[in-house]
Structure 1
Amino acid sequence: MQLDLSRHVAADPDSVWAVLTDIPAAHETLSGVLAVEILTPGPYQPGFRWKETRKMFGMKAREEMMVQAAEPPHSTTIVAESGGTEYKTVFTVTPDADGSGSTLRMRFGAETAHAPAISRVVMALMGGVAEKSTRKTMEQDLADIAAEAERRAG
């Protein structure tokens, strides 16, 4: 599964970046996140890890996330692995040419190459439903990040 979404934000890249990388407050910013547990205290940088609890498909799901790359305030890559499925999310923040704000882009991919055969079969059968739900969640995340960045930029 591959998804690519973007959203205009009426805030500068630094404000968007500050919200995007404020992992301790993610459960307050992102309406889909129920809780966050920081595993590696310190700044947002490659190797920074946390557990994020979300409500997905009507159930609580808890995943360990890790920053794979960070180039403030322009891009970051976050990875996770669950049940043999590898997830990768790349966020990019691009300033508008006229200085009116930024474009926040989110590219998400899920790869089941190492998942058990049954998991790959289920993903193939349920792929459309999972993609629709994931897209809706990502769109809400982008809306939540934009709203908080705009509030902070004020």
Structure 2
Amino acid sequence: MGHAEAARILNAPPQAVWDCLNDIEHTPEWVSGLAAAEVKTPGPYGAGSIYHDHNRLGPFPQETPWQVTAFEPVTRQVHESRSTVLPSTMTLTLDSVPGGTRVRFSVEYRFLPRLGPVSRLFERVAMDRLLGQVLKQNLAGLDAYLRNKAT
């Protein structure tokens, strides 16, 4: 199984970061490569909520369903996707620190699991590093988004 993570301290209070993470429709404004996102379940966003991401994997457009499987307000959420291309578990963790919030994105995944050993080799050789860079980009995008929102 592949694994990537990134962390960053954002100059924003935990509640502001949390609210931004829960505003799924606006995530394309700070998530790299995301064209659109929409919540599919009615009611308040939280454990059990389902949303879909619209992005590209190379030249191919794709729609990825996600479900929020854990939701601990202002500290942690877990999102799971059963995508056939990239099944993933993404954990978002927030910690209050002096002057802001430490945010950590952690993803466990399988890339094209039907390829067996080839999949695992590709995860180790390329995907872990590539996905880690994307997570860093997304945290930088979130930081910029929050700064722009505050002004």
Give a deviation string over 1:46-98, Cα, whole Å, max 9, x none. Answer: 111111012333433321011011111111111101228631111111111x3
Matching of residue 16 in structure 1 with residue 9 in structure 2: no
CA shift in 2, pair 1:53/1:84, >3 Å: closer
Pick from 120, 137, 147 the counterpart of residue 124 of structure 1.
120
Is the contact made by 1:32 and 1:137 (CA closer than 8 Å) also made in structure 2? Answer: no
Q: Which runs of 5+ in 2 are unaligned?
A: none
CA distance in 2 between counterparts of 1:129 and 1:57 reads 15
Matched with 2:134 is 137
The 5-angstrom pairing of residues 2-151 of structure 1 reads: 2-83=3-84, 86-96=87-97, 98=98, 100-111=99-110, 115-116=113-114, 119-127=115-123, 128-151=125-148
Query: What TM-score do you get using the length of structure 2 for normalisation?
Result: 0.86
For structure 1, which segment, 135-144 or 119-128, has the greater mean C-alpha deviation from structure 2 after superposition? 119-128
Q: Provide runs of 4+ in structure 1 moved above 4 Å.
A: none
One-letter amino acid matched to 1:148: Y
Q: CA RMSD in A?
A: 2.2
| Cα distance in 1 for residues equivalent to 2:54 and 2:6 | 22
Describe the shift of the 1:7–1:122 C-alpha distance in structure 2 as closer, same or farther (beyond 3 A).
same
After superposition, the Cα gap between the structure-2 partners of 1:58 and 1:49, relative to the gap in structure 1 and judged at 3 Å, is same
Q: Distance in 1 between matches of 2:116 and 2:58?
A: 18
- Aligned residue pairs total 149
Structure-2 separation of matches of 1:82 and 1:141: 20
Q: Does the 8 A contact of 1:9 with 1:150 survive in 2?
A: no
- Tell me: CA distance 1:81–1:122, structure 2 relative to 1, closer, same or farther (3 Å): same
SS of structure 2 residue aligned to 1:41? coil
Instruction: Name the aligned partner's letter for residue 104 of structure 1.
Output: V
Residues 5-37 of structure 1 show CA distances to partners (whole Å, capped at 9, x for unaligned) of: 100100000011111111011123323211123
Deviation at 1:138, TM superposition (A): 1.2
What residue ranges of structure 1 are gaps of 5+ in the alignment?
Answer: none
Deviation, structure 1 residue 111: 4.5
TM-score, structure 1 as length reference: 0.85
Identity of aligned residues (%): 23
